[in-house]
Structure 1
Amino acid sequence: MKYLLENVKVQVHPKTYLKDPESSELGQRIIKHSILLIDAIGFESFTFKKLGKEIGSNESSVYRYFENKHKLLLYLSSWYWGWVELTLVIATNNIEAPKDKLRRAIEVISQPVTEDSSFSHINETKLNKIVINEFSKSYLTKEVDNENKDGYFAIYKRLISRLKSFILEVNPKYAYPASLASTVVEGAMHQHFLKEHFVSITDCNDRTTPHQFFCDLVLATLNNAGNEK
């Protein structure tokens, strides 16, 4: 993975930023420390003023890259889903058996995240925690329909479409592939959240992983589909 990704850039919708943070050392520091700070204090308490102090720069320098913290969250979540998609494509590329490919895809989407040294300024482990805790805040807004039309969520939707195609490879007659695929992606985040905070309402723990749960759920669903009387 490391050598495959060395020269790869995760593409993020350009409307999420005013200046591409990947284009400068300051921009990369903004991304690095925004992840660390949001992970530490939460998105609601996060401000550009606090971020400016962390990077040793004026608050105004952050505004040169991002219009507001909502756009920054859109950027971070888009980058995360782009990274997951890239990881998924590489992980499933040489797998021919549809069920094995689907199992591997679910594993990539639902497994605990480890830091990827290919992107030195981004801590994927902490970014994963941010997405689990904060991603819904990027779309539970009055502007979601307009932002969706403008393509802000294209990478997220493309990832779900990939998973949908794997589901249809296993059972082309299954009637609800998009709903099942989006349930896996959203549900994996939710199960990780429950595992950390509401342990009494999930069966996922140190022995039973979200990956195991969703593989069982999806494959059982696809195996049983069409067999109802």
Structure 2
Amino acid sequence: MERLLTNLKVNINSKIYLKDPQSSDLGKRIVENSILLIDKIGFEQFTFRKLSKEINSTESSIYRYFENKHKLLVYLSSWYWGWLEYRLVFATNSIENPEQKLRKALEIITQPVEQDMHFDHINEVILHKIVVSESSKSFLTKEVDQENKEGFFSIYKRLAYRLTEMIEEIDSSYSHPKSLVSIVLEGTLHQHFLREHFPTITNCNQRHSVTEFITNLVFNNLKEHHGSK
């Protein structure tokens, strides 16, 4: 597995970018420094002009990779979900018991992020912070339906399908596996956000993890449904 991870590349829909940023040193610097700059000043204040100063390049050079900052954010969000999907697949591939597999998958999705040294140009810890705080801006737009048709959110949806299949493997008669998965994915981000910014309206803290809450939520739903049959 270590050899596979060494050669790992997260493949992003080519319609999101003009030139693959993973294909050159400049592209990787654009991604690396955009993560750091968005974390520092926020997405609203982030511009390609400011980014060009951070990487000692020109604004036009960044536009050769991304049409605008919205597509850059879609790229960053897609990369995060793709990276998470790879981790989930590797962590669950050898687990045969359906319940244990789902528990492990939920752990991967919800646990605090640690930096992955297989990707030198991306700080996954900071990227996770951006996904928590900013990723909703990638799809809460007037263009979301068209971008969805073009596959901008295919990685996120593919991850959701994987979790849905795991739930159906445990209980094929459960009526709302997709809805439950959407709550898991978005609820996880929301609980991390509340824990950081509005701790008085969440019970997720140092004593009670987001993983604990989400895992209990999922299995209590499945248990309740199974008991009602």
- Normalised by the length of structure 2, the TM-score is 0.98
**Cα distance in 2 for residues equivalent to 1:45 and 1:148:** 26
Structure 1 stretches of 4+ moved >2 Å: 1-4, 226-229
Over the matched positions of the two proteins, sequence identity in percent amounts to 60
Rounded to whole Å, the distance in 2 between the matches of 1:69 and 1:127 is: 15
- Whole-angstrom CA distance in 1 between matches of 2:132 and 2:167: 24
Q: Deviations over 1:144-166 (max 9, x none)?
A: 00000000000000000100011
Q: Which amino acid aligns with 1:67?
A: E
The residue aligned with 1:37 is 37
Q: Distance in 2 between matches of 1:129 and 1:4?
A: 27
The aligned residue for residue 132 of structure 2 is 132
- How does 1:1-229 map onto structure 2 within 5 Å? 2-228=2-228
Decide whether the 8 Å contact of 1:16 with 1:71 is kept in 2. yes
Unmatched 5+ stretches in structure 1: none
After superposition, the CA RMSD in angstroms is 1.0
- 1:134 & 1:8 partners in 2: Cα distance? 26
Distance 1:105 1:225 in 2: 21
Task: Give the Cα separation in 2 of the matches to 1:124 and 1:45.
Answer: 21
8 Å CA contact 1:87–1:108 kept in 2: the answer is: yes
Instruction: Give, as a single letter, the amino acid of the residue that structure 2 aligns with 1:6.
Output: T
CA distance in 2, matches of 1:124, 1:16: 20
Structure 2: gaps spanning 5 or more residues: none
Given that residues 101 and 166 in structure 1 are in contact (C-alpha distance below 8 angstroms), is that contact kept between their aligned partners in structure 2?
yes
CA contact (8 A) 1:2 1:116 kept: no
Q: Is the 8 A contact 1:38 1:46 kept in 2?
A: yes
Count of residues paired in the alignment: 229
- C-alpha deviation, 1:3, in angstroms: 3.6
